[in-house]
Structure 1
C-alpha cells in the first residue's frame, strides 16, 4: 500500500474489518483495548489499521464511554525542581494507568486564574484535575473550584476542602536540623525559600520549632528564591558570621550556592561548616563535597496524586484531608562535627 493510500481520508471501521477479514465488532474491541481478543486476531486487525491508515475516533469513543482518558494538571510554574519533577511523576504514572495529561499553566495565581484554567481544561475534555498549588498567594479559604469536578491538590493547605498530597516538609526539615545538632553544632542557620511558598514556610517553621525544642538559639533566616544564585548571596552573608558552623538550606540548589560562597571565603566544608540541603537532586551526590540532603520521593507523590484522582473517578473510597509522603535523610560528605 502506498503512502498516499495510507493517508486516504474517510477510512472507516468497516473498511478495516473487510481487510482484516473480521467483524466490525471485533475491530471495535481491538480499538478499545478489550482484553478478550485472540492475539492473532488482534495483530491481524492492527495490521489492517496500519495498512489503511485508520485512526480510531477517540473523541467519539470518549463520548460514548463517558470518559476521555485524560487528566488535567494546573500549576503556576514549571521552573522549580519540585514542580517539574512532580509533573514528570504524574505523567509517568498516568501513562501506566492508560491516561494522558493536559498541562495548563496559570500565569497569575488568583481565583480568576484558576477558574480560567478549569474553563480551558473543560474545553479540552479531561476526566479530572490535579492542581499543583505551591504558593499561598491563593488562600485556601478563598479557593473555590467548580462543583462536580474531581480534584486532587498538591502542596497546599486546602486539606479540609479537597484531597491533598504533599511531601512531609516539616519532618524533612526536622531531620535536617536534628542531624546537625546531633553532630554537636550549637545551632543551625537557615536559608529559606520564597515567602509565598507553602513548602518553604513549612520547612522554616519546622527548623525553628526544632531549635526551640532543643533549647538552642534561633539565628535570623536568610531569604532565598530556590536558585543557586540566591543561595550564594545568602552564603556570603553567613560566611561573615564566625559563629556559623551549620547551615540548612531549603533546597539543594541554594545549598550549592551556599557551598560556593563558603569556599570562596576560605571556610571549608565540612571542616569549618556543615551544609544540608533538601530535595536530593540526581546531581547532589556529585557536589563537592557530596551533599547531605533530605530525599523527596517525587515518584510516590505523583503516583498518589493519580491514584487518588482515579479512585474518585471510579467512585471508590479514598483518603480525606492531607496525605503526606515520607522524607528521609541522606548523609553524605558535607556534614561533620563542628571544628574544635
Structure 2
C-alpha cells in the first residue's frame, strides 16, 4: 500500500488507516485478529483507536494483538483522549490533568511505552486551548508520544491551535487533524482543509463511507446485522438516511455500475484522493468488509466521475 507523509512531518503512514471504534464491543478478538492480519498483509500501517472507544476495550484488545499478529515497529499506533463514557453519558474533558492521566492509561492498555500519534479527541470551551496543547507538548517531551494532533476541530479552532504550537520555539507542531469527511459530509472543505494545508497538518478522515451509508447497504432498508440496526449506532447512521443522502447514494451507485466497481470503492477512492487527505480511517465489523476496502489500492476515479460526484454532493 502506498505510504504518505502526515502533513509536513517525517511521519509516514499507509494511505488507508484501520479504525477500531467497535473493537472489544461489536468486533470480538477473533474478527479483530483477522482484520489486523489482512490489513498488515495489504501493507497497512496506521492503526487508529481512542481511550473512549468501548471505555478502553478497543485499546486493550489492540494491546493483545500488537507484538503477536504484527510487530510493534510495523504499525503506527494512534490514539486519542478527551472523550469518555464511564458515567454512561458522553463526557468531554481536555484539561491537562485528565489528558495526561488518560494517556498513561492508554499506554497501559496498549502495552507500550509510547504511541506514535496522540490526538486530542475534541475541542472544549471549558479548558483554555493553551492548557490542552501544553499536555501535547509534555507527552512528546516525556517520550509518551512521538507526534501529536487534534480531532473534530472547526476551521478557526484548527488554525488557532496549530498557530499557537508554531508561535514559540520548543512547542511541538501539530501533525494532523482527524475529521469526518465523505461525499455525505463535505463541511470540512469550507475552512478546515484550508487551515490544515496552510499550517502543515495531514488530514485523517473518519467515516469516509458516510457511516456505512455510501456502501449502498441501506438502499432497500436497514439490514438486521448492520450498524444502522445497532442500538449504539442507529442514530449515528440515521443522520444520512434522508432525501439528500439517498440522492448521493444513488449517484455513487450509478457511477459504480458504469465503472464495474462497487459503491464502496467509488466512495472510498473519492475521499482518499481529495487534496490534503493523508489517509481515510476505515472501520469494519468483519474481515470480509475490510478486505473490500483494501481492494481499492490500485483504483483511480476518472476525472469526469469525480466532477459529477462533486456536483451532486455539493451543499
TM-score (norm 1): 0.30
Pick 1 or 2: higher relative contact order, CA cutoff 8 A, min separation 6: 2
Greater Rg over alpha carbons, structure: 1
